[in-house]
Amino acid sequence: MEKKNVYDILKERGFIQQVTHEEEVRELLGREPVTFYIGFDPTADSLHVGHFLQMMVMAHMQRAGHKPIALLGGGTTMVGDPSGRTDMRKMLTLEEIQSNAEKFKVQFEKFIDFNDGKAIMDNNANWLLKLNYVDFLREIGVHFSVNRMLTAECYKNRMEKGLTFIEFNYMLMQAYDFLELYRRYGCRLQLGGDDQWSNIIAGADLIRRVESEPAYGMTFTLLTTSDGKKMGKSQAGAVWLDPNKTSPYDFYQYWRNVDDADVEKCLALLTFLPMEEVRRLGSLPGNEINEAKKVLAFEVTKLVHGEEEAVKAREAAEALFGGGGNLDMVPSTEIDKQQLGDGMNVIDLAVLTGLVPSKGEGRRLITQGGLTINDAKVDSIDRIITLDDFKDGALMMKKGKKTYHRVVIK
RNA sequence: GGGGAAAUUCCCGAGUGGCCAAAGGGGGCAGACUGUAAAUCUGUUGUCUCAGACUUCGGUGGUUCGAAUCCACCUUUCCCCA
């Protein structure tokens, strides 16, 4: 069987949103190994699921024999990308950015194979930070029409709310990155989320002007739910790839609970399952779609945290929602006997475990009948927890229908 | 540089001296219904030793018995003019 063009794979799985030169890009990708890049601005101390989608693209591309460049935005983050934002980005210090970049670096290495030059990692701080202002303006600035920039989609809503000059420059920096990567590594394709479209075409145009060489760009769908909201946001904030920020159990549960309407899309974008299987799972009727969600949760957790963690997360979920099984991975808190004393108020215990953020909320929860201890509803805010409530040294608290927390006597 | 407007609780946005922990919406949380889904309906949504007390309305200082509301200065943002 002839090898499938990676462009068609990405298209079929629903990644592709916009392409600068559709036919040319497709042909190029089918013809020769292409060096391409995706930029990641280290604005936080961990990658999140949005980044994960980009890494899936890199992985698909790498499998097809192309060479990814993971570009850390150590330089661009100093400026801040205004795209898709209504307010100004918080300014980060150089130290914060560098520390974040180090964390990103470690995470990249889990997803992309950098051995034997199969992929490249670089940081635009290496060239952006030492740029000379006037030289930059003369070499790069001349190629940008302010009139045109102002019409760019990414500045539209900022034209109403305000846009500072520093952010306005972001596009030039990113365009320059592309040029720099072209010069250093022969990179002629930039990929990114759809909110990066303006920045990407700016870079491709720059290479065409300055180097008179073809350069291309392509954007991917952003992870949104069927009703257009950003995905990867849970009540606790973003869903992080760092297990210390989002535990594998919570990560698993996030995907286990996606809307019916989003299951197929997520399977296509975030797993490597063959498309026939994705379509089959996505079209399961009614209740059966839960099987698809289990597959989704397991597969994504496996990719991000490894098979062992994924199995544990699945077991924990099955134990809680099905009964029996291994409870090791369920979020839990250890408490010693002294702390418990002669008895401890439920609310205090709930706050201690972090199940509720404050006593007020704990009271509210109990009053509304939302707290369960060992499958029995707590009906009084004065309920005292004693050693008798622990079975084999453990007690199970449940908030609402699906937030479990184990308390273990140590 | 000159003139005008604004900054409110997670977000948007009311509130112009006591009735304001602050309308309304969104979001969150919980209950009912379900399939660990969606939609819908209901309740709830600053903290605490919850009767009551305490902290909050960009910052600092004032006026007042009493301020989110008035005054001064500062910070930030937007708009108009140059």
CATH number, residue A403: 3.10.290.10
Judge if A241 and A297 occupy the same domain: yes
Residue A286 lies in a domain: yes
pLDDT at A86: 62
The answer to whether the CB of A176 falls within 8 A of the CB of A209 is no
C-alpha A292, offset from chain centre: 21
Close Cβ partners of A129 (under 8 Å, ≥ 6 residues apart): A74, A75, A78
Mean pLDDT of chain A: 90
Task: Give the residue from A56, A35, A51, A199 showing the smallest Cα distance to A122.
Answer: A35
C-alpha count within 13 angstroms, C-beta hemisphere, residue A120:
19
DSSP per-residue letters across A60-89: HHHHTT-EEEEEE-TTGGGT---TT-SSPP
Judge if A290 and A340 occupy the same domain: no
A368 beta carbon to strand B: under 7 Å: yes
Residue A57 lies in a domain: yes
Q: What distance separates the 2 farthest-apart alpha carbons in chain A? A: 80
CATH number, residue A53: 3.40.50.620
Judge if A195 and A280 occupy the same domain: no
Give the residue nearest to nucleotide B39 (CA to C1'): A259
Task: Give the residue from A150, A219, A151, A207 showing the smallest Cα distance to A176.
Answer: A207
A352 beta carbon to strand B: under 7 Å: no
Q: Would you call A95 exposed, middle or buried from its count of C-beta atoms within 10 A (0-12, 13-18, 19+)?
A: exposed
Looking at A298, A321, A344, the residue that finishes a domain is A321
Residue A82 lies in a domain: yes
Residue A238 has pLDDT above 80, yes or no: no
**pLDDT tens-digit series, residues A242-272:** 998 889 999 999 999 998 989 999 999 999 9
Query: Any idea which of A6-15, A150-159, A310-319 has the lowest mean pLDDT?
Result: A150-159
User: How long is chain A?
Assistant: 410
Judge if A238 and A214 occupy the same domain: no
Spatial separation of the C-alpha atoms in residues A144 and A66, rounded to whole Å: 30
Question: Residue A265: which H helix or E strand, with range?
Answer: helix A263-270
- Work out the pLDDT band at A392, boundaries 50, 70, 90: confident
C-alpha A308, offset from chain centre: 21
- Work out the pLDDT band at A4, boundaries 50, 70, 90: confident
C-alpha count within 13 angstroms, C-beta hemisphere, residue A107:
26
Spatial separation of the C-alpha atoms in residues A128 and A300, rounded to whole Å: 35
Domain of A250, in residue numbers: 233-321
Residue A103 has pLDDT above 90, yes or no: yes
Q: What does the pLDDT average to over A140-148?
A: 91
A161 beta carbon to strand B: under 7 Å: yes
Any known ligand binding at A37? yes
Residue A227 lies in a domain: no
Residue A235 has pLDDT above 70, yes or no: no
Q: Angle CA(A163)–CA(A167)–CA(A169) in degrees, nearest 5?
A: 120
Judge if A197 and A258 occupy the same domain: no
Residue A204 has pLDDT above 50, yes or no: yes
Q: What does the pLDDT average to over A114-118?
A: 92
pLDDT at A338: 86
Spatial separation of the C-alpha atoms in residues A270 and A277, rounded to whole Å: 13
Count the domains in chain A. 3
CATH number, residue A254: 1.10.240.10
> Measuring from the CA of residue A322 to each C1', which nucleotide is nearest?
B36
On chain B, which bases lie within 7 A of the protein's CB atoms? 28-31, 34-39, 43-50, 77-79
Distance B44 C1' – A317 CA (angstroms): 28
Q: What does the pLDDT average to over A346-354?
A: 93
Give the residue nearest to nucleotide B46 (CA to C1'): A360
Spatial separation of the C-alpha atoms in residues A164 and A253, rounded to whole Å: 40
Judge if A59 and A141 occupy the same domain: yes
Judge if A146 and A50 occupy the same domain: yes
In angstroms, how far is the first alpha carbon of chain A from the final one?
59
A158 beta carbon to strand B: under 7 Å: no
The answer to whether the CB of A200 falls within 8 A of the CB of A175 is no
A318 beta carbon to strand B: under 7 Å: yes
Distance B54 C1' – A370 CA (angstroms): 28
Distance B25 C1' – A69 CA (angstroms): 45
> Measuring from the CA of residue A256 to each C1', which nucleotide is nearest?
B36
Q: Rounded to 5 degrees, what are φ and ψ at A216?
A: -130, 160
Judge if A69 and A193 occupy the same domain: yes
> Measuring from the CA of residue A363 to each C1', which nucleotide is nearest?
B50
Q: Which residue has the higher pLDDT, A322 or A352?
A: A352
pLDDT at A65: 95
Q: Collapsing DSSP states into helix, strand and coil, what is residue A356?
A: coil
Judge if A32 and A169 occupy the same domain: yes
Residue A389 lies in a domain: yes
Residue A145 has pLDDT above 70, yes or no: yes
Judge if A216 and A255 occupy the same domain: no
Q: b/e string for A201-219 if b means 16 or more Cβ within 10 A?
A: bbbbbbbeebeeeebbbbb
Judge if A255 and A153 occupy the same domain: no
pLDDT at A399: 94
Distance B55 C1' – A358 CA (angstroms): 15
pLDDT at A1: 45
Looking at A264, A294, A321, the residue that finishes a domain is A321
Residue A349 lies in a domain: yes
Q: Could you tell me which residues are beta bridge partners of residue A385?
A: A344
Question: Residue A376: which H helix or E strand, with range?
Answer: strand A376-377
Looking at A301, A321, A341, the residue that finishes a domain is A321
Any known ligand binding at A174? yes
pLDDT at A136: 95
pLDDT at A142: 94
Residue A1 lies in a domain: no
The CA dihedral of A26, A114, A204, A137, to the nearest 10 degrees, is 180
Judge if A122 and A268 occupy the same domain: no
Residue A67 lies in a domain: yes
> Measuring from the CA of residue A235 to each C1', which nucleotide is nearest?
B28
Number of C-beta neighbours around residue A337 at 10 A: 11
Q: Could you tell me which residues are beta bridge partners of residue A217?
A: A190
Any known ligand binding at A233? yes
Residue A81 has pLDDT above 50, yes or no: yes
Query: Could you tell me whether strands A237-238 and A344-345 are parallel, antiparallel, or unpaired per DSSP bridges?
Result: unpaired
A293 beta carbon to strand B: under 7 Å: yes
Q: What does the pLDDT average to over A38-54?
A: 92
